[in-house]
Amino acid sequence: MRDVRVRFAPSPTGALHIGGVRTALYNYLLARQYKGTMILRIEDTDQGRFVPGAEEYILKALSWAGIKIDEGVGVGGPHAPYRQSERKAVYMQYAQQLIQSGHAYHAFDTEAELDAMRERLKGKDNQQYSSGTRMEMRNALTLTESEVKILLETKTPYVIRLKVPENEEVKVNDLIRGEVIVNSSQLDDKVLMKSDGMPTYHLANVVDDYLMKISHVIRGEEWLPSAPLHVLLYQYLGWKTSMPAFAHLPLLLKPDGNGKLSKRAADQMGFPIFPLTWIDPETKEVAKGFRESGYLPEALINFLAFLGWNPGTTQEIFSMQELIDAFSIERIGKAGAKFDILKAQWFNQQYLRTKSDDTLTGYLLESLTKENIACTKEKALKICSIMKERVTFPQDLWEQGKFFFIAPTSFDESVVSKKWNDDVVKVLTAYKEALGNLTALNATLAKTALEEVATQVGIQSGKIMQAFRVSITGGASGPDLMITLEILGKDEVINRLEYALQTLKVKV
């Protein structure tokens, strides 16, 4: 196998879509598996869509995800520059080569002439600027050599188009889909160089992939229709034997499988679509990222890896190194992959559980600092220890554990209406008095005292536990109640019992 050199080539037109992160990941896994090179190239030839800050965002997002760039933007390398806008002269050189070999031509059509063509072709099978229509247009194929020379000398605006053959089979060998055959009559004469001197994606990416010695082009399925044009360019430029292997990844679909995953769909369903929070520089609209939503990068990477690829085993939890070892393009499917956000949350939960109590404590203390709540590390450690099996995101330690710091002033009505009764009042009143006689409180003493009180009043403790929990935490569920009492401390527990008994008395 030739040296593995892959590239991730996003456009700086906004935030990096999570599908782009998956594409980068698959490229990275292949490169690392074969000890190859991961290149970052910025495809910014469409200057009209350039968005300030987008390039920096892409670099930060990849870094956060743990996808290390070996060569390219932000790193440098032997094939610099890696921004296509800085390589204009390179592309024009190869566009001229195609013109000289008869595989491309100058086209001088105005917008009005192009609109007239489209109007003329309405209702017809072929409505493209192609082998069937180009001889009716104003280009170097219909003009004389002297006319073309004059137009060029007078700087008449023009584009350079690929001259697609009229009726040839073009074969694309795709590592995921097998051999794809397209008749050239279905292809249009794509613009290779625009009137502003910038190349289009088609010419730029082929030239760059050749010059940068790219061995595999792993990209989204949306680029599959363009692949036959790229194959033609490799042939016409004399690079057929250097053509990279193609792999077009399946689409990311909405969680229900109906349609492509979009920002709008993600917004409607309440989950992120970008790795990091993105603030639109024009509208100032804020799109919350996976990082800010509490997803751990290693969990998100594990989730993304399974969107289209499977290891062929029942193993689901993979470290980055394990993914590198197990990955193969051959195990990527053709069908679109459902973006099951609940599965993403499951992965996050699994990874969060592996974190040390010290790490979790750091998350909790960070949240408490934002809330201006003081807490000792010892107390935070105890809270995290009993909460870690119940949380999905780091911020849940605070969100689900607020009752450790703020006494409830309202209580779960569904429990109160069904479970709060005379028996509960008797047991909790007696329990409150029993706690007052203790010099200290731990989980064992709390449980023993409750059992003794329940026996004394002749009521089984199990019958009052839900109401007891509500009186302490305000909610119907939570971590081990006896350990919760120990963390809160005797005085706080007594105060909460008094408040609940007073507040809920009328509901008995």
Both structure tokens of 294: 């509490």
Q: Which letter does DSSP use for residue 130 in this model? A: S
User: Can you tell me the mean pLDDT for 391-420?
Assistant: 95
- Cα atoms found within 13 Å of the Cα of residue 217, Cβ hemisphere only: 28
Q: Which letter does DSSP use for residue 309 in this model? A: B
Domain boundary among 372, 402, 432: 402
Split at pLDDT 50, 70, 90, the class of 45 is confident
Cα–Cα distance measured from residue 454 to residue 463, given in angstroms and rounded to the nearest whole number: 10
Helix, strand or coil for residue 53?
coil
Residues 470 and 323 in one domain: no
If one counts the domains in the chain, the total is 5
Domain boundary among 402, 420, 436: 402
Cα–Cα distance measured from residue 260 to residue 18, given in angstroms and rounded to the nearest whole number: 12
Cα–Cα distance measured from residue 192 to residue 470, given in angstroms and rounded to the nearest whole number: 69
Residues 301 and 378 in one domain: no
Q: Assign residue 57 the CATH number of its domain.
A: 3.40.50.620
Strands 71-72 and 37-40: parallel
- pLDDT reported for residue 187: 94
Split at pLDDT 50, 70, 90, the class of 326 is very high
Look at phi and psi of residue 372 and say left if phi exceeds 0, alpha if psi is from -120 to 50, else beta.
left
Helix, strand or coil for residue 229?
helix
Cα–Cα distance measured from residue 322 to residue 320, given in angstroms and rounded to the nearest whole number: 5
Contact 184, 168 (CB under 8 A): yes
Q: Which letter does DSSP use for residue 36 in this model? A: -
Domain boundary among 344, 370, 402: 402
> Does any domain span residue 415?
yes
Residue 81: asked if its preceding bond is cis (omega within 30°), the reply is yes
Handedness of CA 413, 418, 423, 427 (dihedral sign): negative
Residues 125 and 112 in one domain: yes
Both structure tokens of 259: 């349609």
Helix, strand or coil for residue 173?
strand
- pLDDT reported for residue 122: 87
- pLDDT reported for residue 484: 98
Cα–Cα distance measured from residue 284 to residue 83, given in angstroms and rounded to the nearest whole number: 26
Task: Give the residue numbers marked as catalytic.
Answer: 263
Percentage of the chain lying above the pLDDT 90 cut: 95
User: Can you tell me the mean pLDDT for 181-201?
Assistant: 94
Rg, C-alpha atoms of the chain = 32
Residues 228 and 175 in one domain: no
Convert the pLDDT of each residue in 237-266 to its tens digit.
Answer: 999 999 999 999 999 999 999 999 999 999
- pLDDT reported for residue 507: 44
> Does any domain span residue 201?
no
Mean pLDDT over the full length of the chain: 95
Contact 59, 21 (CB under 8 A): no
Cα–Cα distance measured from residue 114 to residue 122, given in angstroms and rounded to the nearest whole number: 13
> Does any domain span residue 238?
yes
Residues 268 and 323 in one domain: yes
- Residues in CB range of 31: below 8 A, 6 or more apart: 4, 5, 6, 37, 38, 70
- Residues in CB range of 293: below 8 A, 6 or more apart: 271, 272, 393
pTM score of the predicted model: 0.92
Residues 394 and 360 in one domain: yes
> Does any domain span residue 202?
no
User: Can you tell me the mean pLDDT for 411-430?
Assistant: 94
Residue 218 identity (one-letter amino acid): I
Cα–Cα distance measured from residue 460 to residue 467, given in angstroms and rounded to the nearest whole number: 13
Residues 462 and 506 in one domain: yes
Measured from the Cβ of residue 199, the count of other Cβ atoms closer than 10 Å reads 27
Q: Assign residue 189 the CATH number of its domain.
A: 3.90.800.10
- Statement: residue 61 has pLDDT above 70: yes
Residues 424 and 473 in one domain: yes
Contact 472, 481 (CB under 8 A): yes
- pLDDT reported for residue 46: 84
Both structure tokens of 485: 């009492």
10 Å CB burial of residue 437 (0-12, 13-18, 19+) is exposed
End-to-end Cα separation, the chain, in angstroms: 78
> Does any domain span residue 79?
no
Strands 191-193 and 159-162: antiparallel
User: Can you tell me the mean pLDDT for 270-276?
Assistant: 97
Residues 345 and 285 in one domain: yes
- Statement: residue 508 has pLDDT above 50: no
Q: Which letter does DSSP use for residue 10 in this model? A: -
Helix, strand or coil for residue 289?
coil
The range of the structural domain enclosing residue 278 comes to: 263-353
Residues 67 and 211 in one domain: yes
Contact 7, 212 (CB under 8 A): yes
> Does any domain span residue 200?
no
- Residues in CB range of 51: below 8 A, 6 or more apart: 12, 13, 14, 281
Cα–Cα distance measured from residue 355 to residue 352, given in angstroms and rounded to the nearest whole number: 5
> Does any domain span residue 503?
yes
Convert the pLDDT of each residue in 287-297 to its tens digit.
Answer: 999 999 999 99
- Statement: residue 301 has pLDDT above 70: yes
- pLDDT reported for residue 126: 75
For the ranges 259-268, 358-367, 464-473, which has the lowest average pLDDT? Answer: 259-268
Q: Assign residue 491 the CATH number of its domain.
A: 1.10.10.350
- Statement: residue 101 has pLDDT above 90: yes
Residues 279 and 292 in one domain: yes
**Sheet with strand 216-220: strands edge to edge:** 71-72, 37-40, 5-8, 216-220, 245-249, 169-174, 178-183
Q: Assign residue 312 the CATH number of its domain.
A: 1.10.1160.10
Cα–Cα distance measured from residue 183 to residue 179, given in angstroms and rounded to the nearest whole number: 13
User: Can you tell me the mean pLDDT for 477-503?
Assistant: 96
Residues 386 and 424 in one domain: no
**Sheet with strand 191-193: strands edge to edge:** 104-107, 159-162, 191-193
- pLDDT reported for residue 124: 79
User: Can you tell me the mean pLDDT for 405-425?
Assistant: 94
> Does any domain span residue 141?
yes
- Statement: residue 130 has pLDDT above 90: yes
